[in-house]
Amino acid sequence: MKKYIPIFFLFLTGAGFSQVSVSGFIRSKTSEPLPGATIKVFNKDSVFITGASAGMEGEFSFSVQAGHTYLMRIIYLSYTDLFKTIETGSANLSLGTITLKENAQQLSEVEVKTTQTRGEQKGDTTAFNAGAFKTNPDATAEDLLKKMPGVTSDNNGVKVNGETVQKILVDGKPFFGDDPNAALKNLPADIIDKVEVFDKMSDQSQFTGFNDGDQSKTINIVTKKGKNVGQFGRIYGGYGTDERYNAGAVLNSFNAKRRASLLLLSNNINQQNFSLSDITGAMGSTGGNNRGGGQPGGGRQGGSSALMTSPQNGNTTTQSAGINYSDEWGKKISVSGSYFFNYTDNKNHSDIRRNYFTDDRLTYTQVNDDRNVNQNHRANLRLEYSIDSSNKLILTPSLSFQNNEARSSIVANNTILDNVFKGSTNTRSDIVNKGFDFSNNALYQHKFNKQGRTISLNVTTQLSERSNEGNYLSKNVYSDTLGSTLDQHFSTNGDTKKISGNLSYTEPLSKLSQLQISYMPSYTEGGSDKRTYDYDTSAMAYTDFNTPLSNKYSNVYLTQKGGLSYRYRKDKLNFSFGADGQLSTLTGNQTFPVAFQLDQSFRNILPNAMLNYKFNKTKNLRVYYRTNTNIPSISQLQNVVDISNPLQIKSGNAALKQTFENNLNVRFGGFNPQTSRNAMLFVNANYTDNYISNATYILQNDSIIQGYQARSGSQLTKPVNLDNYYSIRGFFVYGFPVSAIKSNLNFNGGVTYNHTPAILNNLLNYSNSYATNAGAFIGSNISDKLDFSLGYNGNYTIVKNTVQKKSDNNYFSHAATFKINWLFLKGFVINTDVTHTLYNGLTQNFNQEYLLWNAYLGYKFLKNKSLEAKVSVFDILNQNRSVGRNVTGSYTEDYNTVVLKRYFMFTLTYTFKNFKSGSLPPKTEDNQNGVPNGPPPGMQRPPGSGGY
């Protein structure tokens, strides 16, 4: 690995501004201090300026500009909000003691019964009241969220109204970076006061108010007063049949500002706490499962993605540790960061069958036996420095290292016309992959004296390195030859360096409109060097350099982009539109196997538009339209032959062009706090020019491909640009409480259409995939002693082709689930969950129907029932399995993967909760920091987040 020291310094200074300090005390009518009271300060245009939190004696202070008028809002639980106008002069201002009035009144001899409010709409944010949803004492944040309207959770993550949650905040601060699972599976539900759901825009978009399209579905967990200062967590360990074990710890230490969490995990039952970046080492391999890509067709994804989203596939041993830390250093610096280590050892066996859309009905079958041992370190940091009320600096570096050892055995066959033999291979590979990634965003923000006039600069640096080294041993037989043997050693080294910037200036045109001018340059440099050596029997070593299977390639991609956008906001209406002009060049240089140079240039106009219309407090319409370009990867541009599977030869294409994508998103709906009804309609459409698809050629004769002798009966696949790729997805959810059974009922449904081009034997084929899905979920809200859920989801897919109509097919899948958790007899707990899964319409031997039933019986004892002993059984009926289908423009693929089977386990779990009395309520964050809170009545809400 080359040695790089990525260092980034950003020095910017703004004009000086005269600052004054405003201070005072917040107390009750009885002169008791109100620690933790929240102070928010707005300017005369109703835009948030700064905030503070009262200390233990009720004292507070903040700094603002001299000679201005401000509106101050003071908030404290169970007290009426107080609004106070302040005018600053040239000297510091003392407001003395400010008294708040209690808003709670005691009623004698009167009993009032009403339905607890489940949520409310706060500007663009939907906030749910956690206390309105009943969970058992040991429930996690994930268990609580699944009871809320529009929220679902499965192996693919937590979704809100069909959109995957990408970020979790705790009291407005990041928790374990961008890994929602780490937060939701380890935070206890009983410390949560509210759950806020919104679309978090990038830091720069939050500051300017212009949406750049970089937004993510985000959940902010607001902790309860009295349960946010102290220590809490759990320690557990279990051992079972077949030497199964599971152990770990979740340790948290919270106070008003400093939060620290430690996660420990060790097991061999497929429980994993990591994200995509933990397996990028494996992604760099050219061997392994050799799975094809494509659109999911109703089953779990395999290959390396199975390590991330399908933890039941195969058998995985995991050792992991994670640390999360957040704090405020003084009044100007806020910091949060996390570190993760993961070690996984995965053993997997899978069967694959692909039916190609060709006249000769080519069928490819494959049996895999794989083992992947992966080590990963990743760390991220976020540091915010509020220089003064007008200047701010945000740094967000991240770093990761991967080390992966992959061993794979592939036995595969090609047949045509119903089992006419064309070729077979038996390939073994042993590969070591290493990876390194570094990135950093540095964002400087400056607000001028004139309201709405801002300037910001965001500079992003990225550095990635990949290397792998290994051996292939392949024995191949073809229909018209005696066969061949390949015994090779290879090594590959690649790196990517990128620096990009975004300079944005906003200017108010009026009180209702604003203009943005932006400039976004970008420079990307990449290179790859692969060297392959054949085994020399005379020298008994890998010394024979194989030029056709080696490659040295580098490229540079340079863009210059500038744009103009207009934004208008009045009452219920908020819209913007604009366009960017982009000039880009792509140059490439290949040294071997054949020397050549690439020089391409592109000119693009990239329009964008956004509309947000609030019909009322509960209904909202949001429309986004964006365009963007993407360049091919180095592996796609490399003109090198990949024969890791000799039946499926792959090659790059140096003539690839950049893609041009059009994306349209429409969302309509909202949440009604009076009826607790939630409804959302979501539509997404994508159209791509120069879509990078595949051209597949079935070799009828022996052929020379870039100097390599390819045999008849194998196939060649290379990336090509094709037009007319488009997809449309519509999805809706509707949820409401059912008081008769004290439960919440959610309905969902959707349709998806994919029009995917591909080339098969020089014929252009369009694979049209029509998919419909519908489901319902009932979650109980009875008590913290009895918790149950019942769910169903069905999918039906139709695949039609324009060239080979004999390959058209339909298939159906469904999953029905039931789960119950019951605490009874002062300490006993019984839990059981059942999932019925059906796949019908797949290839013979892949149609499956099975019942996965898990259960445990436990007993809680010691003080506060802090220790639990339980006996659990996984897969009681011993039927667990994993099947599914992928659909691409060239073929349909069915797969079956070995999964974890029945085992018994005894587990001890110790839970501790040590909260300090008089704990402070969580400090609320202003919307500029990504956690929206409603402004005072009649005041406009500052920009920063999208709708729910």
pLDDT, tens digit (0-9, with 9 covering 90-100), for 243-302: 999 999 999 998 878 889 999 999 999 887 644 344 333 333 333 333 333 332 333 222
Which residue do the tokens 């005390």 mark?
25
Judged on CB neighbours under 10 Å (0-12, 13-18, 19+), 449 is exposed
Residue type, 13: T
Strand, coil or helix: what is 318?
Answer: strand
Rounded to an integer, what distance in angstroms lies between the CA atom of residue 183 and that of residue 352? 35
Residue 58: DSSP 8-state? S
Query: Who contacts 105 (Cβ-Cβ below 8 Å, separation ≥6)?
Result: none
Residue 280: DSSP 8-state? H
pLDDT, tens digit (0-9, with 9 covering 90-100), for 110-137: 444 444 567 777 667 788 888 888 888 8
Rounded to an integer, what distance in angstroms lies between the CA atom of residue 268 and that of residue 365? 30
**Cα 383–385–387 angle (5° rounding)?**
170
Assigned token pair, 340: 């993760």
Handedness of CA 710, 713, 719, 723 (dihedral sign): positive
Residue segments in the chain with a per-residue pLDDT below the cut of 70: 1-18, 44-47, 56, 77-78, 103-117, 122-123, 154-156, 177-178, 213, 273-313, 480-482, 844, 917-948
Rounded to an integer, what distance in angstroms lies between the CA atom of residue 578 and that of residue 605? 10
Rounded to an integer, what distance in angstroms lies between the CA atom of residue 399 and that of residue 694? 33
Give me the DSSP letters along 565-600.
EEEEEETTEEEEEEEEEEEEEEEEEEEESS-EEEEE
The CB-based long-range contact list for 280-283 (8 Å cut-off, 24+ gap) reads: 280/400, 280/402, 280/435, 280/437, 281/374, 281/375, 281/376, 281/402, 281/403, 281/404, 281/433, 281/434, 281/435, 282/307, 282/372, 282/374, 282/402, 282/404, 282/406, 282/433
pLDDT computed for residue 295 by the predictor: 32
pLDDT computed for residue 313 by the predictor: 67
User: How, if at all, do strands 708-710 and 743-760 pair?
Assistant: unpaired
Query: Who contacts 32 (Cβ-Cβ below 8 Å, separation ≥6)?
Result: none
Q: Which of 721, 717, 710 is nearest to 695 (CA)?
A: 717
Q: CA distances (Å), 56 to each of 32, 898, 927, in order?
A: 10, 58, 25
Strand, coil or helix: what is 102?
Answer: strand
pLDDT computed for residue 380 by the predictor: 93
Which residue do the tokens 């003080």 mark?
863
Query: Who contacts 414 (Cβ-Cβ below 8 Å, separation ≥6)?
Result: 362, 363, 364, 421, 422, 423, 424, 647, 713, 714, 715
Query: Who contacts 455 (Cβ-Cβ below 8 Å, separation ≥6)?
Result: 446, 448, 503, 504, 505, 506
pLDDT computed for residue 289 by the predictor: 37
Strand, coil or helix: what is 126?
Answer: strand
Rounded to an integer, what distance in angstroms lies between the CA atom of residue 415 and that of residue 478? 11
pLDDT computed for residue 702 by the predictor: 82
pLDDT computed for residue 555 by the predictor: 92
Residue type, 220: N
pTM of this prediction?
0.78
